[in-house]
Structures are given as structure tokens and as C-alpha cells.
């Protein structure tokens, strides 16, 4: 299925690392909103590059909705893109994100289980790994309103649902009709003043939840004040003029803010304290800390007191590989895994599950888990036609920016990691590490929303490059999204492919950890062995015409970087290189203490190198300097927990697609410009 690999393909490494039979059965009753294939002829480019702009004007006139309101709503939903006529993760279609869950539902299972280890700690006996299996899922009889706006739009406009899904102009008409209907339902007149539509905009963006509706309305009005201009994925040039003096109707804004605050207070009281910025819609949906199997085991996280006992220095971005409803059901299972937050695709609603002071089981690497916060996003990495809404990206960025400030986490790609950037702990775990959020997550847009866009920071002799292809124009071929060996649908990507020589006819670079038999990397959507992703920084190893080489997994790796359409920008910063006199040095998947640091009651954790070696003269970008540490927590009884701190110091480096750690004693740190 989309989002998990087919049975005859490499498995998608999603958060469902192991599942009880109960959890699998529960998922069968819930909603699997994953992208269906676009209909024939879907989203044909409208006639002329200004046709979509005209469509907004015509729809606004027909339904007496201010054009700026209509365009602002569409921008928040889709950034005006049509996405090839395919539905979003939430089953939304077209620029207005009209939702039709029953049309978008996948014909394949929502989940395929695997037997990985989200905790990533060998000190605690693992539960039996689940057998690989999948279950077909069925839609509930009654869908929430947020998942069935397209059928309502079809009734209001008289247009066929198929046309609303595939024709951007018709889709805009449907959105205008819904806004007008919302205004009438609120007992408000159709006004030419955009400020009078504030409550209707909120209802459009969050009919099921006043918290998400209030956040949506604030964002739409911010877009209208700032103005926007962009070329869509269908080549349409769209401009929304800035209106810096625009003000929402004060009475409507007060009512919305009051209702959202009351609901948030009620949720907080029912589920515990929330750690979210006020600018997002957030609810508490706590994960259980419980014993089971006659108290022989426990889940699904560990109690801690971070940052007092351990520093939080990373945020890990995941996708759920399942629907919102299924995800919330699974987090309540103590036999399942855990993460700190989930972000909903339709409107950016955030659910917090684990307090940030506690350690969730999400990354598959215990050292990373102990020092990170996990944020899941409703979505499927192997569904290239599925797309995340602007509302999701913005809510997530606000949350991450808030957490980064709270814990002094640098906003860069060495600290804001994808799950696919987390290293394996030892050689045997590398192949089982997860690959979400995958090559279709738009890191460039995400970091722009974080206020840290990737820019050139040095001249041609800076010594580093930051990967930054044009997401829309960069469309490398991937395979295995739906069936082994078959190409995925063409789609924008933030990743570039890496070769052994400056030519696309050269073999891809090898990842000996991922492919221990020495076989080459592949174009599979889950094969990260020859891939560099937006925002990652690498040391330059050479240049040849339109090609740039970087040091990657102990070898030179070449990517196409033409001056006319560059896929990377020059940068500078600290790098590590093997200490003078050393022919090669090891690299590790975790920064664990030396043997002498462990007290007698704590088993010594082996400092096991990964199968990669860094040779003399090679350079790798430094992400940070960390003290060696191990959190020992094998039991439900927290009095038996301990934190072991060693004398060894490590540097986190950009090893390959994933990060790695090298001992400070093994390397020299230099400026990349030297």
C-alpha cells in the first residue's frame, strides 16, 4: 500500500514497530486516508498561466465572497496547488482542499507491521516482534465534518463531485460556495469587507473544533495582510495583494478566541498540562505509562526529568503511516510505542501524548530518544501524490520553534532531524531503521516557516555545501511506492541522488551498513543509501563542471549541481577530520560512555563502531559536541533507573543521509575554509 512497502518490496520503516493483535484489530475499524491515484485527466493545467487567478475572481463574484478571503483560505489549505488531482492525507482535493474521504480511501491496508525496536536499547528485554501482517480497514459509518466537505460543495454548486476533485476552477467554486454557506449559517450578511468573514473562515478551517478554527482564521488573515505570490505546481501564476491594515471583525474574533480558550482549558483539565504555544490548536491525549503481562513488562515510555537529568538537543520529525484516528487509538496502547506530539493534516490540530520531560520510544536509537522530542505528522512517506496542508506545516513549525526556544535547540538540520536521519545503534540495526518522513517532505518550506531558510553563507571556497534543490523542479525517479520495481508517480522532492562519479550513468554510491553484501544502493523510496536531503551540510570533496562531490559514508559522492539550477548553496563551518597520523577512524551510532564510567549495578553498554570508516583527509560537517551518556531504565520502577555520564566526548557529524558520532579524541576540528 502507499505509505508501507508491498510484500515483495523493502519494508517502509514507519512508527508501527510492533503491534499487538488488539491494536491491529482496532486499526481495522478506523480511517485510512491515504492518497488515491488521480483520476484520468485530473488537474489539467487551466488555459493560460493566469486562469487560476481568474477562477478566484469569478468564484468570488458568483458567491459574493471577497476574493482576498477566498485566496487566503486556499493558500492556507494548499498554497494554491492542485497536486495533480490527488487527495491530501486527509482526503482533500484541489486548491480549496475539499475533503471527500470515501473517494480518497485506499484500496490497500493502512498498516503493515514489522519487528523493529522503537526504544533502541538492548539493556531491556524486547517484546516479541510482531509478525509482518496487514489488515484492510473500513470507514466508519459517520465521518466527521472535516472529512466530507466536497459532497457538501457538490450540493451547493450543482457540480459533479468528480469535477470538484479534478478541475481546479470548479474546486475554487466549491470552496466559495462553502464559505458563503458558512456565513449564512452564522447569521451574517455577505459583506464586501473581508474582516466580516472571520468567523466563516474559522468554520471553514475547523468546523469540528473551534481551537483549530480560530488558529486557521488567524493564519488566513495573516496571509491576507502579508500578501503572497507564487507559481503553482500546474504553472499558474497567482498573486494575492498585501492588505497590511486588514482587521478582523472584533466581535467575531472575541467570540472565537473565547470559545477556543474554553475548550482548551477543558481539555487541559481532563488530560494534564499542555506544552504548546498559544498560536496553535492543541489538546492532551496522554499515552499510558502502565505495566502489563502480569507486571512483567511495561509501556509505552519512560519517566524522566529532562532537561534537569538529560539535555534535550534534538527534535525528530516523523510521519504516522496511518490516519489521525488510528494514530490516536494506537498511542493509548501500552504495548505500542510512543512519541510526544501528533499533528493533524486537515487543520494542524496538535495532540500531546508524552510530557517533554519524559523519554518517548520513537526514534529506534536509545541515545537519540533520551535527548530528543518526537513529533509525528499524519501522513504516508511512500504516497507521493498525497500532500500535507499548509495548515499542518505551519502548526508543526510553530510547535518546533516553541520547543527549540524552550530547550535551546538550534534550528538547523543537525538538530531538527527526520526519523530517516537517525543512525542505527550498531551494525545489525542499520537496515531496520525507519525512513520517514521520506523524500517528499518539504524541508525548505518547513525551515522557511521556522524563520531559518537555507541560504548561502559562504563563497565558493567555504568548504561546505547545504543541500537545497528547488522542491517543485527536483523530481528524481523513485520506485517501490506501490509495487516493487515500479516507478512512483513524479513528484517534487527535497533530496538529491548521489553517484560514484560526476555522471548520471555512474553507479550510485554504496551504503555498506544498509547493504552489507556490497550490493549497490537503489532508487527505492525507502533506500537512503545514496541520498542527501535539503538542509543537510556536507564537506566538499571535489567539483567537476556542473557536479559537486561531498564526503559521504567514507567515500566521495557526486550530485548534479548546475549553476543554472543549483541544488546546493555554499556554506562554511566547523568540520572534523581524522587526527593527524591516523589513517582511519571509526564512527558510532550513539555517544555512550567508556567502560570505566559504569557503576556496578548498571550493565556496561558496548561502544560498538558502525561499519563505516573515515579516512585521513576526509572532512565531515560538525553538528554539535556532546558528552557521553547512558540512561539506564530497564524497569517500571524508576528507583532502579540511573544516568551514567562518562569522560569521553563525541562530535555529531553529517555522516551520510543519517548523522553519526565520532570520539573527540579521534579527530581534529577545523574550519571548513582552511
What pLDDT, in 10s, does the model give residues 120-157? 887 765 543 333 333 444 556 677 888 899 999 999 99
| 56-65, 93-102, 207-216, 505-514: least confident range | 207-216
**Domain presence at residue 654:** yes
Give me the sign of the Cα torsion angle 640, 646, 649, 654: negative
Q: What pLDDT is recorded for position 131? A: 32
For residue 21, is pLDDT > 50? no
Distance CA(213)–CA(182), nearest Å, equals: 13
Angle (CA) 448 450 453, round 5°: 35
Name the pLDDT band for 11 (thresholds 50, 70, 90).
Answer: very low
Dihedral (Cα; 214, 218, 223, 224), 10-degree rounding: 100
For residue 632, is pLDDT > 60? yes
86 compared with 667, residue with greater pLDDT: 667
Distance CA(360)–CA(394), nearest Å, equals: 24
- Reported as a single tens digit per residue, the pLDDT across 322-344 is 888 889 999 999 999 999 999 99
- Reported as a single tens digit per residue, the pLDDT across 592-606 is 999 999 999 999 999
Q: What pLDDT is recorded for position 36? A: 41
- The SS3 of residue 181 is helix
**Domain presence at residue 388:** no
Sequential DSSP letters for 512-537: TTT-TT-PPP--BTT--TTEEETT-E
| 81-90, 281-290, 519-528, 544-553: least confident range | 81-90
Q: What pLDDT is recorded for position 141? A: 65
Name the pLDDT band for 16 (thresholds 50, 70, 90).
Answer: very low
Instruction: Decide: 478 and 494 in contact? Cβ < 8 Å.
Output: no
Distance CA(462)–CA(624), nearest Å, equals: 19
For residue 111, is pLDDT > 70? no
Q: What pLDDT is recorded for position 568? A: 98
Q: What pLDDT is recorded for position 75? A: 96
Q: What pLDDT is recorded for position 266? A: 66
**Domain presence at residue 232:** no
Distance CA(670)–CA(463), nearest Å, equals: 11
For residue 5, is pLDDT > 60? no
- Reported as a single tens digit per residue, the pLDDT across 562-593 is 999 999 999 999 999 999 999 999 999 999 99
pLDDT > 70 fraction of the chain, expressed in percent and rounded? 87
Query: Cell digits for 59?
Result: 468564484
When the pLDDT of each residue in the chain is averaged and rounded to a whole number, the result is 88
Mean pLDDT of the region 100-125: 64
Q: What pLDDT is recorded for position 207? A: 74
Q: What pLDDT is recorded for position 516? A: 94
Distance CA(139)–CA(141), nearest Å, equals: 6
161 compared with 263, residue with greater pLDDT: 161
Q: What pLDDT is recorded for position 442? A: 96
Q: What pLDDT is recorded for position 259? A: 80
Instruction: Decide: 436 and 13 in contact? Cβ < 8 Å.
Output: yes
Mean pLDDT of the region 226-230: 96
Q: What pLDDT is recorded for position 8? A: 35
Q: What pLDDT is recorded for position 509? A: 98
Domains in the chain: how many in total?
Answer: 1
**Domain presence at residue 629:** yes
Q: What pLDDT is recorded for position 12? A: 40
Mean pLDDT of the region 181-187: 96
Q: What pLDDT is recorded for position 264? A: 67
Q: What pLDDT is recorded for position 272? A: 61
Query: Using the 8-state DSSP alphabet, how is residue 469 labeled?
Result: -
Reported pTM: 0.91
What are the φ/ψ torsions at residue 195 (nearest 5 degrees)?
A: -60, -25
**Domain presence at residue 634:** yes
Distance CA(381)–CA(436), nearest Å, equals: 6
Q: What pLDDT is recorded for position 325? A: 86
How far is C-alpha 470 from the chain's CA centre?
A: 18
Q: What pLDDT is recorded for position 220? A: 96
Neighbouring CB atoms inside 10 A of 583's CB total: 9
Q: What pLDDT is recorded for position 363? A: 96
Please give the residue range of the domain that contains residue 653.
578-671
Distances in Å between the Cα of 452 and the Cα atoms of 77, 259, 412, 448 are 22, 33, 8, 5
Q: What pLDDT is recorded for position 125? A: 56
**Domain presence at residue 630:** yes
Query: Using the 8-state DSSP alphabet, how is residue 580 labeled?
Result: T
Name the pLDDT band for 433 (thresholds 50, 70, 90).
Answer: very high
Q: Which of 128, 113, 118 is nearest to 28 (CA)?
A: 113
Q: What pLDDT is recorded for position 102? A: 79
Name the pLDDT band for 73 (thresholds 50, 70, 90).
Answer: very high
Q: What pLDDT is recorded for position 164? A: 97
**Domain presence at residue 619:** yes
Query: Cell digits for 446?
Result: 518547513
Q: What pLDDT is recorded for position 191? A: 96
Mean pLDDT of the region 280-309: 94
For residue 480, is pLDDT > 80? yes
Query: Cell digits for 485?
Result: 520495481
**Domain presence at residue 565:** no
End-to-end CA separation in angstroms for the chain: 49
- Reported as a single tens digit per residue, the pLDDT across 340-383 is 999 999 889 999 999 999 999 999 999 999 999 999 999 888 88
Q: What pLDDT is recorded for position 6? A: 35
What are the φ/ψ torsions at residue 402 (nearest 5 degrees)?
A: -65, -45
Amino acid at each position: 500500500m502507499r505509505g508501507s512497502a508491498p510484500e515483495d518490496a523493502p519494508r517502509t520503516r514507519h512508527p508501527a514497530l510492533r503491534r499487538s493483535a488488539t491494536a491491529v484489530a482496532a486499526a481495522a475499524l478506523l480511517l485510512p486516508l491515504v492518497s488515491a491515484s488521480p483520476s484520468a485527466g485530473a488537474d489539467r493545467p487551466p488555459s493560460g498561466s493566469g486562469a487560476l487567478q481568474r477562477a478566484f475572481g469569478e468564484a468570488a463574484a458568483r458567491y459574493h465572497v471577497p476574493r482576498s478571503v477566498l485566496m487566503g483560505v486556499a493558500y492556507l489549505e494548499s498554497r494554491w496547488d492542485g497536486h495533480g488531482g490527488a487527495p491530501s492525507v486527509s482526503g482533500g482535493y484541489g486548491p480549496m482542499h475539499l475533503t471527500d474521504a470515501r473517494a480518497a480511501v485506499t484500496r490497500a491496508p493502512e498498516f503493515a507491521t514489522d519487528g523493529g525496536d522503537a526504544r533502541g536499547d538492548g539493556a531491556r528485554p524486547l517484546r516479541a516482534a510482531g509478525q509482518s501482517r496487514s489488515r484492510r480497514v473500513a470507514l466508519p459509518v459517520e465521518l466527521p465534518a472535516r472529512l466530507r466537505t466536497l459532497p457538501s460543495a457538490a450540493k451547493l454548486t450543482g457540480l459533479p463531485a468528480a469535477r470538484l476533485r479534478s478541475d481546479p476552477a470548479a474546486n475554487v467554486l466549491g470552496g466559495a460556495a462553502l464559505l458563503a454557506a458558512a456565513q449564512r449559517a452564522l447569521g451574517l450578511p455577505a459583506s464586501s469587507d473581508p474582516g466580516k468573514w472571520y468567523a466563516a473562515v474559522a468554520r471553514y478551517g475547523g468546523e469540528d473544533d473551534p481551537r483549530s478554527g480560530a488558529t486557521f482564521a488567524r493564519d488566513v488573515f495573516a496571509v491576507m495582510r502579508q500578501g503572497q505570490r507564487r507559481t503553482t505546481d500546474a504553472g499558474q501564476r497567482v498573486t494575492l495583494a498585501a492588505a497590511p491594515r486588514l482587521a478582523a471583525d472584533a466581535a467575531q474574533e472575541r467570540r472565537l478566541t473565547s470559545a477556543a480558550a474554553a475548550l482548551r482549558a477543558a481539555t487541559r483539565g481532563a488530560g494534564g498540562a499542555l506544552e504548546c504555544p498559544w498560536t496553535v490548536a492543541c489538546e492532551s491525549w496522554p499515552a499510558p505509562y502502565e505495566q502489563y503481562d502480569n507486571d512483567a513488562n511495561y509501556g509505552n515510555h519512560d519517566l524522566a526529568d529532562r532537561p534537569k537529568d538529560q539535555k534535550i538537543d534534538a527534535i525528530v520529525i516523523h510521519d504516522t503511516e496511518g490516519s489521525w484516528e488510528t494514530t490516536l487509538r494506537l498511542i493509548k496502547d501500552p504495548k505500542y510505542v510512543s512519541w510526544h506530539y501528533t499533528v493533524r493534516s486537515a487543520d494542524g490540530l496538535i495532540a500531546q501524548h508524552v510530557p517533554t520531560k519524559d523519554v518517548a520510544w520513537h526514534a529506534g536509537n536509545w541515545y537519540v530518544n533520551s535527548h530528543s522530542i518526537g513529533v509525528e505528522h499524519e501522513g504516508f512517506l511512500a504516497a507521493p501524490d498525497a500532500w500535507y496542508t499548509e495548515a499542518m506545516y505551519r502548526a508543526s513549525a510553530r510547535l518546533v520553534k516553541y520547543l527549540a526556544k524552550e530547550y535551546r535547540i538550534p534550528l538547523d538540520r543537525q538538530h531538527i532531524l527526520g526519523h530517516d536521519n537517525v543512525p542505527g545503534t550498531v551494525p545489525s540495526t542499520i537496515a531496520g531503521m525507519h525512513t520517514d518522513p521520506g523524500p517528499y517532505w518539504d524541508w525548505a518550506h518547513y525551515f522557511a516557516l521556522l524563520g531559518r531558510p537555507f541560504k548561502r553563507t559562504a563563497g565558493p571556497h567555504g568548504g561546505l555545501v547545504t543541500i537545497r534543490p528547488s522542491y517543485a523542479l527536483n523530481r528524481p525517479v523513485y520506485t517501490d511506492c506501490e509495487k516493487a520495481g515500479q516507478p512512483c508517480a513524479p513528484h517534487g522532492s527535497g533530496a538529491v541522488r548521489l553517484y560514484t562519479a560526476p555522471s548520471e550513468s555512474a553507479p550510485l554510491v554504496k551504503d555498506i551498513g544498509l547493504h552489507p553484501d556490497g550490493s549497490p544502493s537503489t532508487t527505492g523510496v525507502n533506500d537512503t543509501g545514496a541520498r542527501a536531503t535539503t538542509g543537510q551540510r556536507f564537506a566538499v570533496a571535489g567539483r567537476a563542471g556542473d557536479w559537486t562531490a561531498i564526503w559521504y559514508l567514507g567515500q566521495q559522492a557526486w550530485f548534479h549541481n548546475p549553476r543554472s539550477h543549483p541544488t546546493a548553496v555554499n556554506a562554511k563551518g566547523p568540520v572534523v577530520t581524522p587526527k593527524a597520523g591516523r589513517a582511519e577512524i571509526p564512527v558510532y551510532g550513539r555517544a555512550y560512555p567508556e567502560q570505566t564510567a559504569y557503576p556496578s549495578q548498571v550493565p556496561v553498554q558496548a561502544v560498538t563502531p558502525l561499519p563505516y570508516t573515515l579516512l585521513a583527509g576526509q572532512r565531515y560537517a560538525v553538528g554539535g559536541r556532546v558528552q557521553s551518556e547512558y540512561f539506564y531504565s530497564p524497569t517500571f520502577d524508576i528507583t532502579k533507573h540511573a544516568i551514567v555520564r562518562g569522560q569521553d566526548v563525541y562530535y555529531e557529524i553529517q555522516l551520510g543521509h543519517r548523522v553519526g558520532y565520532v570520539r573527540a579524541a579521534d579527530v581534529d576540528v577545523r574550519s571548513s575554509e582552511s
